[in-house]
Structure 1
């Protein structure tokens, strides 16, 4: 199997003319379908390096990163050690960074992270492991950092440096303003970096303000560098790093100066690169219907014109002359076609309009009354993402079921749980029950840093989320018996880190589908959730549908994907746009506000400080404005969906 290294060797023999598609890019990068596939390739390159050094009886010096990006690389290395005999006895490691102050025993320390994900599972010698020590006395830090640099130099320098990237463009913890000549040092963390880490620490107030980090010059001296980035959240900084000029404001751009660096990206992280975002600006395109839609919407936004006002000159002046030339079409023909495509996505009948011609509608007219499953990864994604559509489906007479896939208990703060426990303790007269609540109260009041919640506390927090969900969907009009809670086991760790998806998780999803035999399934297609729960939940649905594909009722089941609190579908991706009236927007807002434990202090809000109801409302109104700007009907708000062919 090819490694990233062999890909680089292949490229060195290509001529400049073969790089037309990447002419905007200043760093070599490889794009993979998903992070799992990419991580395996990176792990294979590391394994080959270790083996080649072993054959020469030399040490292999690795610079290692932490965070979510390298986890699957470490999992694959562990697998190769256990199943293929890959030895780490000749490996010497130096980690990039560590929070300061931070003890090794703290679950949030990178010392803990590296042992949890790699070192505890392979045969590396403990004396060969080097991780910055976050407990060094402040007055000793300067000498400690000098010594760390000398240890790398004495080991022969870094043969391979694995990197992630932060939204600020940091590598290691080299924040904006870091100098190209900087060495290992203590640094103050950027506010954005601390916001991004806040969910790991249960709030930004608990995130350390400083860290020890290898410097930019230390990283650049590595013989080989691989930087990994996954997901839509990294797309903007990846574009700036790969395509813009070198600047200390985006420290990762210094990697443009390295002669043997590769960025390994999934499709979402690469999505803002010019060759993906606007390929017609790079070279000739194969004009599929999807690409035409994407280009024409972009052209409208570039020219600030509606679709039907675009002219031949607009197409020619913006790199789309070959689209006009294809099939000897005029701008008028292209405009009318695109206008009709978007017009046909709009419907006030998300379950299909009975007794009508459905040839130009996104959903089928029949059966007139459909069985519908709305899967919600967390106990509030349903109303946040499609509260208005949810309400329409009920009002229009469909048999709607909402299925909450996880308990959502880790998103309930200790203070919120304590409040409920104290209320219960004051109210319940039964002595046995009273003791139980007292034990919860005592646990929460005396909970130590990084202590995992007890089973009783997790159950209470789960019940808080459950009852909020019941209240929200009752307000929309759903019957209690049509509300289902799966409490999928992968989620129930009591920690932010979840278990891998298992057979039991998939079976729970498959069983509820088999029971209801739906005509429609709505599922969360928003994979920007900071801790990946949405992705795991969606994968469980895909696996369940695959297992049920031969069942007769599945031939009539359509899968619609919504996006939630993190991102929305681009206009050209939308297959069904459901308009909301002002009253429906208000109803949706009130339904979201029933989730009081998630209001005001959102524990896992990602890079958006707004409350979920505000995000949802702004996003829906923005989608409506995009449709209006393109020359279609003006609505108060629009919820958007994409049909997935499984």
Structure 2
């Protein structure tokens, strides 16, 4: 299977555990169940390599991807000869090696934004110093780092003088300068290019990188070598593409910043210069599955930069099963292993329809027997496709069922998750008067609000105060207790002016809520104090660099703006403010690595909410693999533990849990058990409510790499594509000739899974087990 690729003892152990029986890709890979375990596998391989190369050259990644690699490495070093450490070592091929010593390793920084101050906490320079040099106890004298402050520029000037707006125009490499500032910029670019060449030379003087670990971007980039990069590229100053800018937006405070910031990166040839190097790409989650497939199954090409690892006998991909799910090997194993299930039959037939672009009723027995997956269906016969059609149709029937006398609790990790996931399903529930609905967002979501949005809002708040248009501050008891009252009035005022298209009055409604928030957070006692506090917040934000972690009270203000936005969405359907719950779980801090959920701090608020509301149905984002945005699976852990504890107090035999997904990761029609038709009207409601209510998100400062625009548009595209997949099986006439108007009007579909408590806890438990004993 891997005759041409030597496996280490650690890799052999993880390969055995994975159950993989066949690897046919051009670069070998290993898989694990979830994101935390991906970190364990990587840490074990790293320490195994260090034990043989105590003075070797290493290059390690930044960002959220290596979170569990860092945590497991530190855990193993701290517990090397303790019970848990010994158990892991024995299980994964580290039993016979001495505890590795990291202090003599040579470190090479992979990449950096340019320009960026080295002391900024969102610089990669700061990251590697904190988590690798300090965290791993490496010697700074043996480190090659990218420090923007130390790269010499024209006439000894700083980058703030040369590039005052932080924009570097690389066309100056090839054209004449037009003024004195451009002359200095041109000279500086040449000096940066020279610095990059010298950086490359220093790496090669060390013999090249011996152990490289990197993530992979949605376009396939490794380091900042984006799609189209030269396979023989070296360290350089370069531009990025949209996908990379979207991913970097979180680090830099919005795509407005990342779109105009260049990067310094080692090249593809830098990574593979040492042909004996161990080079590992790690990827988690189904969102990465398409680019993983292209990178592993394609010949070497600049279209997929990671294919350069084909040059190395020790080049590897370490993947979660979700990230590996589109590999032909994984698909083969899915169908070949274990008992045959209805899920396998449905998925095989649905995929055959897509592959052949044939409607289900037109599939022939010859088509079924010629396909390597459908031919495996037990008792394959002329009625097989009709049985799949009936099964999928029954899921649509389930999505059409009327729900009455339900107490509904819809939850999301972030504001807008619920809306983007299942809004059309919820609107149907809300139209039934016997249902009672509650909505809960479990984190405060402040990281999604830019400084510039808050500054603009506060300036408008001052303007309204100065012109006497926020009259509530004049009430005698406002600063004592009045600010807590009439929250629904703010919402009603705002939405009334959505209807009348009065933008100025909508803004005034927002500013009313901001005033209440400031009084609540800062405890101001008068209009004068209020103005002073607004000015102070503006000053703090103006003096903050883009992407800087805000003080806690400003985090709370940003979070309360998001909470107001959520209240506006559900008020569209008559839901009162008191039925929109804001839990602000404590693990969500704005740090690059958030804490694991704590049973008292993070679970008890969810459990108390369940006890108070006593829902009959609970919805949540279901990401049991532990990939995607880390907040999603940490919220899942907290919610699962709360449900587990509640189940000990109450009879939950009739309690249902709806697991939905949205723009980050998706179900397919086969693995879902409820399919909800979505009309053009549903799509318009979702688009309009998103645009009018999620004010801080409309400009898409933190977009998905899959779409340069609002998440609501991406959600609509997802629903439309899901209809397209099912339509190939059922036929278009199934929809436009259906007896039910809701189906006839459908132009999109939502997939989700309805589970009982036991089914839900079983899935969530797999993720929890992956981090036990580490934290």
Pairwise same-fold verdict (TM > 0.5): yes
Paired residue secondary structure (1:123) = coil
Distance of aligned partners of 1:37 and 1:10 in 2 relative to their CA distance in 1, 3 Å threshold? closer
Deviations 1:149-178 (A, max 9, x none): 443344454332212222232222223343
1:173 to 219, 224, 243: 224
Deviations 1:174-214 (A, max 9, x none): 23343343333333323432232123212233226433322
C-alpha distance in 2 between matches for 1:75 and 1:40: 8
TM-score by length of 1: 0.87
Q: Residue 506 of structure 2 corresponds to which residue in structure 1?
A: none
Residue 409 of structure 1: how far off its partner (Å): 2.0
2:423 to 387, 391, 394: 387
Distance of aligned partners of 1:239 and 1:521 in 2 relative to their CA distance in 1, 3 Å threshold? same
Deviations 1:503-550 (A, max 9, x none): 311222222123223221111126899643222222221232233332
Paired residue secondary structure (2:714) = helix
Distance of aligned partners of 1:299 and 1:132 in 2 relative to their CA distance in 1, 3 Å threshold? same
Matches for 1:119-158 after TM superposition, within 5 Å: 119-135=133-149, 136-137=151-152, 138=188, 139-158=190-209
TM-score by length of 2: 0.73
Do residues 289 (structure 1) and 342 (structure 2) align? yes
Q: Residue 346 of structure 1 corresponds to which residue in structure 2?
A: 396
C-alpha distance in 2 between matches for 1:482 and 1:638: 27
Q: Whose relative contact order is higher, 1 or 2, with alpha carbons under 8 Å and at least 6 apart?
A: 2
Q: Judge conservation of contact 2:253–2:547 (CA < 8 Å) in 1.
A: no
Q: Residue 38 of structure 1 corresponds to which residue in structure 2?
A: 38
Deviations 1:327-359 (A, max 9, x none): 3x31x2211211121111114767x647xxxxx
Matches for 1:562-641 after TM superposition, within 5 Å: 562-607=660-705, 608-631=707-730, 632-634=734-736, 635=743, 636=746, 637-641=748-752
Q: Residue 263 of structure 1 corresponds to which residue in structure 2?
A: 317
Which deviates further from its counterpart, 181-190 or 27-36? 181-190
Residue 239 of structure 1: how far off its partner (Å): 0.8
Q: Judge conservation of contact 1:103–1:109 (CA < 8 Å) in 2.
A: yes
Do residues 311 (structure 1) and 364 (structure 2) align? yes
Distance of aligned partners of 1:268 and 1:445 in 2 relative to their CA distance in 1, 3 Å threshold? same
Q: Residue 365 of structure 1 corresponds to which residue in structure 2?
A: none
Q: Judge conservation of contact 1:239–1:273 (CA < 8 Å) in 2.
A: yes
Distance of aligned partners of 1:7 and 1:290 in 2 relative to their CA distance in 1, 3 Å threshold? farther
Q: Judge conservation of contact 2:675–2:749 (CA < 8 Å) in 1.
A: yes
Residue 596 of structure 1: how far off its partner (Å): 3.7
Distance of aligned partners of 1:235 and 1:82 in 2 relative to their CA distance in 1, 3 Å threshold? same
Matches for 1:1-400 after TM superposition, within 5 Å: 5-6=8-9, 8=11, 21-23=22-24, 25-53=25-53, 58-84=54-80, 87-135=101-149, 136-137=151-152, 138=188, 139-207=190-258, 209-220=261-272, 221=274, 222-277=276-331, 287-320=340-373, 322-323=375-376, 326-327=378-379, 329-330=380-381, 332-347=382-397, 353=402, 368-396=404-432, 397-400=434-437
C-alpha distance in 1 between matches for 2:42 and 2:543: 44
Distance of aligned partners of 1:12 and 1:279 in 2 relative to their CA distance in 1, 3 Å threshold? closer
Q: Which runs of 5+ in 2 are unaligned?
A: 1-5, 81-98, 153-187, 475-526, 737-742, 761-775
Which deviates further from its counterpart, 231-240 or 139-148? 139-148
Q: Residue 450 of structure 2 corresponds to which residue in structure 1?
A: 413
Q: Judge conservation of contact 2:345–2:374 (CA < 8 Å) in 1.
A: no
Q: Residue 567 of structure 2 corresponds to which residue in structure 1?
A: 470
C-alpha distance in 2 between matches for 1:598 and 1:568: 25
Do residues 520 (structure 1) and 617 (structure 2) align? yes
Distance of aligned partners of 1:506 and 1:9 in 2 relative to their CA distance in 1, 3 Å threshold? closer
1:548 to 641, 646, 658: 646
Matches for 1:451-462 after TM superposition, within 5 Å: 451-462=548-559
Q: Which runs of 5+ in 1 are unaligned?
A: 355-367
Deviations 1:472-494 (A, max 9, x none): 1121132333221101112243x
Residue 247 of structure 1: how far off its partner (Å): 0.9
C-alpha distance in 2 between matches for 1:182 and 1:586: 47
Distance of aligned partners of 1:478 and 1:4 in 2 relative to their CA distance in 1, 3 Å threshold? farther
C-alpha distance in 1 between matches for 2:389 and 2:569: 37
C-alpha distance in 1 between matches for 2:720 and 2:618: 24
Distance of aligned partners of 1:571 and 1:129 in 2 relative to their CA distance in 1, 3 Å threshold? same
Residue 270 of structure 1: how far off its partner (Å): 0.8
Paired residue secondary structure (1:345) = helix
